[in-house]
Amino acid sequence: MMGLSSSHRVLPRVVSSGPAPGLPTSLPAASSGKNSSIRSGRIWIKRAPFRSTFHRARDAAPPPGRDTETMAVVINAGRLDFDRKLDFTELKDACGGELTMFDDDSPTPEAIAERASGHSVVVSKEVPVDVNLLPDTVKLICEAGTGYNNIDLAAARARGITVCNVPSYSTDAVAHLVITFVLNFSATIVPQHVALAKGDRSLFTSSLGTTPHFELTGKTIGLVGGTGAIGTKVAEIARVLGMNVLVWSRSARTEPGKWEARASLKDLLAESDFVSVHCPLNDETRGLIDADAIACMKPTAYVINTARGPVIDETDLVNALRAGAVAGAGLDVQEVEPPVDGSPLYELDNVMLTPHVGWKRLETRQRLMDLVADNVAAYKAGAPVNVVN
């Protein structure tokens, strides 16, 4: 494997519908220890050294008997199936009965290219893919998620590779996380918990002092680029809680009973008690929430980001948090994930930091994999869906 010594090779899982070479007996799915909920009667899981399962991109053809049109590889399944609870039946079937999965989290572009060798379908999750390194067998890249800024779409188009994503698998989960941040800020859950963790029980015997503690009824949440599925769900829940909902985007329009649109981002920021980011990351949105934007906000307001980290200028936000220019931030995404050692985000008392967990609930991940299977099946049927290039 490129760039890896033999002692650090990652072993693939090959899940197929028939016996794998070298395995003398079949294993019932219920006793295999993996994918026990797979609905087919039996599955085969082969673990083998890298070179015995894959050929290098320079090879002229896949191993004998293997049809590249039905071969797929999940190049970093460890990021998706970290608890070994996902059922890959739908994806396996969509790929013609065989699916290869690598159990690590963040392979290098060179490793991705070698893993893709001999496969027509590559499934990736939030890892940079160098399209120009991929072998000629690759015809489809399925990004297992909504964002696809990890793939050079122009390069893929130039090579005749279709790229698709899964735009709406995590709507409820991410919206619930936004509201979780809102509820925690309003009820000072984190400061109370931090105090207890430090052995400080004074909040039980005295008042909360100047710690913000307030009802949500009548408060305003502003959704930046929030006219999509997640923003719409956040708006729905927020209104149930008695909140006012504002939205700003190029296409936003006021919809009675749903939200009020604001013509400028500055107007939305100035009026909001909570600002929740929902726009994709691109050249126009990178650093959208910078020092100038933050200066428009109330000092009592909170910033929430469950979209993409670089939409917020992290240095400007940290400076504002330290200066008390804003009350706090709930960040499920960061400019660099994970934040580098020594990042002030780890230390600031007014920051709730989570490791990009919005999409990681079990039901959400299972839905994601089933929708990836739908993408593959649609492509093989000649009618690709969710194409982004």
Rounded-to-integer distance, Cα 249 and Cα 263, Å: 8
Rounded-to-integer distance, Cα 247 and Cα 235, Å: 9
Amino acid of residue 259: W
Catalytic residue among 308, 314, 335, 365: 308
Catalytic residue among 69, 236, 284, 337: 337
Catalytic-residue membership of 90? no
Other CB atoms within a 10 A radius of the CB of residue 198 amount to 8
At residue 46's C-alpha, the angle toward residues 87 and 96, to 5°, is 55
Catalytic-residue membership of 356? yes
157 Cβ neighbours under 8 A, 6+ residues apart: 389
Peptide bond into 338 cis (omega under 30): yes
Catalytic-residue membership of 8? no
> How many residues does this entry show for the chain?
389
At residue 281's C-alpha, the angle toward residues 280 and 287, to 5°, is 120
HSE on the CB side for 365, CA within 13 Å?
18
Rounded-to-integer distance, Cα 350 and Cα 336, Å: 19
Instruction: Transcribe 231-245 into DSSP letters.
Output: HHHHHHHHHHTT-EE
Element containing residue 27 per DSSP (H, E): strand 27-28
Catalytic residue among 176, 213, 239, 356: 356
- Known catalytic residues are 308, 337, 356
